[in-house]
Amino acid sequence: MWLYSLLELDLKSLVLFLFAYLLITDFLKQRKPSGFPPGPRGLPFVGSVFSLDPKLPHIYLTRLAEVFGNVYSIRLGREKMVCVVGYETVKEALVTQADCFVSRPPSSLAERIYSGNGLFLSSGILWKKQRRFALSTLRNFGMGKTSLESFIIEESRFLQEEIECEKGNPFNPHILLNKAVSNIICILVFGRRFDYADHEFETLLKLLAEILYLEGTIWALLYESFPKVMKVLPGPHNRIFGNYDRLSDFLVEDLKRRNAERDPSGPRDYIDSFLAEMEKNAEDPALGFHQKNLILCALDLFLAGTETTSTTLRWALLFMIKYPHIQSKVQDEIDRVIGPSRPPSMTDRASMPYTNAVVHEVQRKGNILPLGVPHMADRDTSLGGYFIPKGTPLIVNLHSVLFDEKEWHMPDIFDPERFLDSNGNFAKKDAFLPFSAGKRVCLGEQLARAELFLFLTCFLQKFSFSPPPGVEPSLEPEGGGTMAPIPFKICAHPR
């Protein structure tokens, strides 16, 4: 009996000792260097993770600035990070100190999927080389040119036919918009568009949407914080990896198919161009021209080029049915400048300040990436008077820029007029940063801007949109990787 009690005591002491040891190491690891930004005192091991609303984390992260100032620190999971709030501070970090915050912080999820490859989460020479290559290749195949405009106009015709099939009945535009927008990046990357009924295309889009959704949930945050434990635990986070594998399989098949028919002297798309570069740079793997990176970069473009723009267009339709007088003003401008049948072009934008202002206000208020993508300090530096050591992850709070009260009058109101001067001309605003800023500014900004203007103009040229009878549209956002509106239905009436 006494032996049992002694063993029990020993076990208890061991557990207590272990706990105390972990607590002390955790405390020592989280000690802030002198001059480091202040921040909330979180719980041991997890920090402030549980204070965040997993659906709208940017709200809490913006409010904290009222207590700690526009540069503050916060521990989320294992890592302590610095959060940058408000236009002036974000500009200081991303533009004034552009070279100091170029890299991405290490991430357990990214490490398992990308191992330092890809466009979004890579850093250093590989990122630099791949970003430059992606930009110039997408431009070669139409980004920023009239050839891209014709793809978008053609795609909006397919979309128009689908919408006409609804015959004015309520329908959810989500999947249709996803398919139309995705087809534009597919033309640039894979050299082809997919039919809307294509089963493979539907599967790819579903896998992609689920990845984005899961990456914005507490499961992804838990994986980041406790990768060793989460790796062996069942749960929805495992579908992120499973989905990436299935998307990669699709690309491997595409590569096999195209190897048989490819003419190396005449690349047809991003993938052909990448294969040509692989042949040229075979001896220098550090530049990233190898098959694994080809797959991950192509997936990044597919992923980034689909959900973001499609979600913004969903917000656009929602704002149009919520504020029919704004929809009518856009239609008046379309009728005046383009007329009922000529397809719109990007040159029309200069003569359509109101439509341009609406697109900007949709992006500002839609606020689809409220916390952008994390950056990391590449060297010891200072920000807002605080010391930021090399390797510190930086959360760039884009929500706080797009809703900064110093920059925008009544930022919570949807008001396109804020982008017009007193003569009705379009007025650029410095704090309009939905694509972020600096060296890692969105690579697809030009493409997204063309898609948003042309798709929206084509829709409103051909249809008037309204909510289903008796329904009041809700502007509530839904959680997830991109902040999307909660699912809604619209009715499209041919004009």
Residue closer to ligand HEM by CB (options 272, 300) is 300
Query: Closer CB to ligand HEM, residue 225 or residue 309?
Result: 309
In the complex, the smallest distance separating the C-beta of residue 411 from ligand HEM, rounded to whole angstroms, is 17
Rounded least distance, CB 224 to ligand HEM, Å:
17
Distance CA 72, CA 38 (A): 5
- How far the first Cα of the chain sits from its last, in Å, is 89
308 lines the binding site for ligand HEM (CB under 6 A):
yes
Give the burial string for 404-436 (b: 16+ CB within 10 Å, else e): beebbeebeebbbebbbeeeeebeeeebbbbbb
User: Quick one: CA torsion of 302, 134, 438, 446, rounded to 10 degrees?
Assistant: -70
Buried b (16+ CB within 10 A) or exposed e, 105-125: bebbbbeebbebbbbbbbbee
Taking each helix axis as running N to C, give the angle between helix 237-261 and helix 291-322, from 0 to 180 degrees, rounded to the nearest 10. 110
186 binding ligand HEM? (CB under 6 A): no
Tokens coding 452 = 């948003």
State the residue for tokens 């998307």: 247
Q: Which residues pair with 74 in a beta bridge?
A: 81
| Site for ligand HEM contains 444 (CB under 6 A) | yes
Report the nearest approach of ligand HEM to the CB of residue 76 (Å): 18
Residue sitting closest to ligand HEM (CB): 444
Q: Which of residues 346-405 bind ligand HEM (CB under 6 A)?
A: 368-369, 372-373, 396
* Cβ burial, residue 336 (10 Å; 0-12/13-18/19+): exposed
Nearest in space to 388 (alpha carbons), one of 396, 379, 397: 379
Choosing from 295, 448, 483, 490, the residue that interacts with ligand HEM (CB under 6 A) is 448
* Min dist. Cβ of residue 469 to ligand HEM (A): 31
Residue 86 engages ligand HEM in binding (rule: CB under 6 A)? no
Is 442 among the residues that bind ligand HEM (CB under 6 A)?
yes
Q: Which is nearer to ligand HEM, 133 or 171 (CB)?
A: 133
Identify the H or E element spanning 294. helix 291-322
CA distance 491 to 278: 48
> Strand pairing of 477-478 and 375-376?
unpaired
Q: Judged by CB under 6 A, which stretch of 68-76, 147-155, 384-392, 442-450 contacts ligand HEM?
A: 442-450
Smallest separation (angstroms) from ligand HEM to the CB of 427 = 20
Site string for ligand HEM, 398-437 (x = CB under 6 A): ------------------------------------xxx-
Query: Binding to ligand HEM by residue 287, rule CB under 6 A?
Result: no
Least CB distance to ligand HEM at residue 368 (A) = 5
Closest CB to ligand HEM among residues 243, 308: 308
Least Cβ distance, residue 366 to ligand HEM (angstroms): 8
Residue 312 is a binding residue for ligand HEM (CB under 6 A): yes
* Of 278, 239, 284, the residue nearest 255 (C-alpha): 278
Alpha carbons 172 and 84: distance in angstroms, whole number: 36
Interface with ligand HEM, residue 301, by CB under 6 A: yes
Query: In the complex, which residues of this chain contact ligand HEM (CB under 6 A)?
Result: 119-120, 131, 185, 300-301, 304-305, 308-309, 312, 368-369, 372-373, 396, 434-436, 440-444, 447-448
